[in-house]
Amino acid sequence: MCGIVGYIGDKQAEDLLLTGLKRLEYRGYDSAGLAVVGNGGLRVEKKEGKVDDLRKALSNGSMEGTLGVGHTRWATHGAPNDVNAHPHVSSDGAFAVVHNGIIENHGVIKKKLKEKGYQFDSETDTEVLVHLIEEVKREANLSLPEAVQQALTQVVGAYGIAVVSREDPDLLIAARKGSPLILGVGDGEYFIGSDAAPLVEHTRKVVYLSDGEIVTVRRSGYQVRTIDDEPLDKEVHELEWSLGEIEKGGYDHFMLKEIMEQPDALEDAMRGRVRPAEGEIVLGGLHQVWDQLRDADRIIIAACGTSWHSGLVGEYLIETFSRIPVEVEYASEFRYRDPIIREDDVVLVLSQSGETADTLAAVRQAQSRGALCLGICNVVGSTIARETDAGVYLHAGPEIGVASTKAFTAQVAVLSMIALKLSKGRTLSDAERKEHIQALAEVPDKVRAVLRQSDDALESMAQVYRYASNFLYLGRGYNFPVALEGALKLKEISYIHAEGYPAAEMKHGPIALIDRFMPVVFLAMKDSTYDKVLSNIEEVAARDGSVIAITDEENGELDELCEYVLRIPQTKEFLSPLLTVIPLQLLSYHIAVMRGCHVDQPRNLAKSVTVE
């Protein structure tokens, strides 16, 4: 979703901000802009399209100045065009604002401001905020930081903002409520970012702003206060990300890099936690709350998108190994439907970014009902990671491609660890648990083998299927969520319509779609559901459907029935999603590339969905 970068220091801001905006591109956006303050006053340039279009627009004359803000906009109010792009500037041209989030009461405020004579050039809620700050400042004769603070108390909704003014070239203001912002602390220079990506090459020291906080930054230092003007002493954290991790490292796309990184990401997620020699799982982040989790009456998993799919795998895992009932909820539904949450329930949220607005609202909902709320996040220091009572980091490294890949497998690995730990004294003997933990530890090497064996085969399959208009993905048991995930991966990056179903549901409707133009991907591992899946394959083949099957390397019996059979190493049934999802990710990737799609930044999508 929209991205913010800000700089104050002694370097020229323009190039630094443009590079920062490039690093934020992965979040998804449709226009970009900059405001720089220097001797020439305040200069603003903004453009519909990509950061490179903005750079071209600037090539006629650079913006001199060592203070500035930049923005990538993902349209919410008003079409993506030059006028609606940020920054937005006050009527007198004195200050400029960039904003992420949505001002919900913008209509009421706009009406009042119009009555006072303010004119609006854009259709954005951000321009309303700019004029509100202006009016508050004028009316009470306030300084800019005071006016920003007072104006924000009148605003309902979510915001992450950064403000610069030609009247004070030594001042950068930023504030947040519901939309993440980080302050990067350098040596005599400071940075603002909506995430760490634009900061990592400049500093590793960061301050995470929390909701309702405002920071005023000068070259000599910074001060964080609450929106109610209480001074705060914020901790400075060390960033985990490195520059190499947020660059493509020789790959054509971040998505491919992240697919290929999965063996390492899984090893990182398991390091020190999965201990096959001792037959133990150690999860330090859950240590304090373990007894409560172990004794929970019910576990509710809430998440969105791909994280919701890994939550479904989690349901199968946790119910199988702990016999604790698990419910999996779309966070967006959970937050609005007055769910029954009891004190002995544990709510577990999954979020790669740790910033998804609906998932964060589920956390707050759970906590307000007195339930323990645990988070499984990838981004260290993210809002969900900070607001949950305890949790486990994925340690999968930055995920830049909009389509989630390594976060899914890392989430499933962490859920497997939790489930196996919960099995103690319940469903598995010590010897069985040790064997299962050993199998989990072997997964990264098996993923390496899948990647080695299947990439070329999937590339040639993609040649055949790239013109398809529809796809079906079918699986049972642990592989039903993988079918959903395979369909989501294909539709989001290749724009081919795809549906995932439990294989048995096919005959309750989707079978009507089957003809020779319908590719059907079956997850047909030789597990407890195999015979039933085989019958479903026969049903599709009998209707001329074009079957692609993912199965075990030893299995030769599908060749006659299927157009393509992709064989992957065997593993225990509960671990198979960690392997079966890999070919589906690669198939989507190759089809999208062949269709000329923008793989890392698919149309209309944002990496981190910080609006409801």
Taking CB under 6 A as the criterion, the residue among 307, 332, 388, 610 binding ligand F6R is 307
What's the min distance (Å) between Cβ of 178 and ligand F6R?
Answer: 14
Chain centroid to CA 399: 8
Contact string 462-501 vs ligand F6R (x = CB under 6 A): --------------------------x---x---------
Taking CB under 6 A as the criterion, the residue among 66, 262, 322, 356 binding ligand F6R is 356
Taking CB under 6 A as the criterion, the residue among 148, 214, 304, 419 binding ligand F6R is 304
| 306 interacts with ligand F6R by CB under 6 A | yes
What's the min distance (Å) between Cβ of 96 and ligand F6R?
Answer: 30
Contact yes or no for 491/497 (Cβ under 8 A): yes
Give the pairing type, strands 231-232 and 274-275: unpaired
Partners of 191 in the beta sheet?
Answer: 7, 184
What's the min distance (Å) between Cβ of 522 and ligand F6R?
Answer: 22
Nearer to ligand F6R, 377 or 550 (CB): 377
Catalytic residues, by residue number, are 2, 607
Contact yes or no for 157/179 (Cβ under 8 A): no
Q: Give how far Cα 242 sits from Cα of 121, 265, 607, Å.
A: 41, 15, 19
- Residues making up the chain, counted from first to last: 612
| 329 interacts with ligand F6R by CB under 6 A | no
* DSSP string computed for 26-51: GG--SEEEEEEEETTEEEEEEEES-H
Taking CB under 6 A as the criterion, the residue among 31, 90, 383, 608 binding ligand F6R is 608
What's the min distance (Å) between Cβ of 403 and ligand F6R?
Answer: 4
Which residues, 6 or more positions from 289, have their beta carbon under 8 angstroms from its beta carbon? 372, 374, 389, 390
Cα dihedral across residues 211, 217, 223, 225: positive or negative: negative
Structure tokens at 584: 């589906």
What's the min distance (Å) between Cβ of 303 and ligand F6R?
Answer: 6
Q: Which of 393, 334, 583 is nearest to 473 (CA)?
A: 583
Nearer to ligand F6R, 46 or 489 (CB): 489
Angstrom distance (rounded) from CA 134 to CA 146: 11
Stretch that binds ligand F6R, among 6-14, 292-300, 304-312, 509-517 (CB under 6 A): 304-312
Angstrom distance (rounded) from CA 321 to CA 426: 8
What's the min distance (Å) between Cβ of 248 and ligand F6R?
Answer: 18
Nearer to ligand F6R, 353 or 601 (CB): 353
Percent helix, strand and coil across the chain, each rounded to 5?
Answer: 40, 25, 35
Partners of 358 in the beta sheet?
Answer: none
Give the pairing type, strands 564-568 and 168-177: unpaired
Stretch that binds ligand F6R, among 34-42, 92-100, 124-132, 353-361 (CB under 6 A): 353-361
DSSP state of 235: P
Contact string 499-528 vs ligand F6R (x = CB under 6 A): ------------------------------
| 122 interacts with ligand F6R by CB under 6 A | no
Q: Which of 25, 32, 169, 143 is nearest to 98 (CA)?
A: 32
Q: What are phi and psi of 598, to 5 degrees?
A: -85, 90
Nearer to ligand F6R, 9 or 391 (CB): 391
Taking CB under 6 A as the criterion, the residue among 400, 440, 548, 609 binding ligand F6R is 609
Task: Select the residue whose beta carbon is closest to ligand F6R and give its number.
Answer: 305
What's the min distance (Å) between Cβ of 505 and ligand F6R?
Answer: 22
Contact yes or no for 387/552 (Cβ under 8 A): no
The amino acid that residue 219 corresponds to is R
Contact string 332-351 vs ligand F6R (x = CB under 6 A): -------------------x
| 359 interacts with ligand F6R by CB under 6 A | yes
Q: Give how far Cα 359 sits from Cα of 68, 70, 153, 325, Å.
A: 32, 27, 25, 21
Q: Which of 306, 121, 156, 449 is nearest to 314 (CA)?
A: 306
Taking CB under 6 A as the criterion, the residue among 66, 90, 353, 536 binding ligand F6R is 353
Per CB under 6 A, contacts with ligand F6R among 393-412 are 403-404
Nearer to ligand F6R, 306 or 576 (CB): 306
Stretch that binds ligand F6R, among 108-116, 289-297, 305-313, 441-449 (CB under 6 A): 305-313
Indicate the SS3 state at residue 124: coil
| 8 interacts with ligand F6R by CB under 6 A | no
Taking CB under 6 A as the criterion, the residue among 352, 409, 494, 546 binding ligand F6R is 352
Nearer to ligand F6R, 522 or 589 (CB): 589
Taking CB under 6 A as the criterion, the residue among 65, 87, 305, 375 binding ligand F6R is 305
The residue written with tokens 């390091």 in the block is 271
Angstrom distance (rounded) from CA 237 to CA 350: 23
Question: Which positions touch ligand F6R (CB under 6 A)?
Answer: 304-307, 351-353, 356, 359, 403-404, 488, 492, 608-609
